[in-house]
Structure 1
Amino acid sequence: MDRVVFYYGTASVYVTTLVCIVVLMCFDCPWRRAWLRIVDAFIASAKHMLF
């Protein structure tokens, strides 16, 4: 496998994933609420571990 093809493939998957996440965050759906709950729990856990 050519390195250039590998890098372009990896970059395209990364960009596509980011675009999908941004699009999902624009709508008020259960996926958005679930993701924000996970992020909030992670932030609370990190604060608890630091302080």
Structure 2
Amino acid sequence: MNRHNHDLSTDLNLIIVSHGLASRVFLMKWFKGTIEQFEYLHNISNCEF
């Protein structure tokens, strides 16, 4: 997940299919969030994006 030093011409779009808790954990790791921010997020419902 090296997102700091990359060439903008090689940007990549990803689709992540996951359960609600796993998506929250991924977002917190990706954006380097705090525990308070993690607890503020809600799980995504079925078929929600």
TM-score computed with the length of structure 1 as normaliser: 0.28
Which structure carries more helix by proportion?
A: 1
Q: Relative contact order (C-alpha < 8 Å, sep 6+): which is higher?
A: 2
Max Rg structure: 1
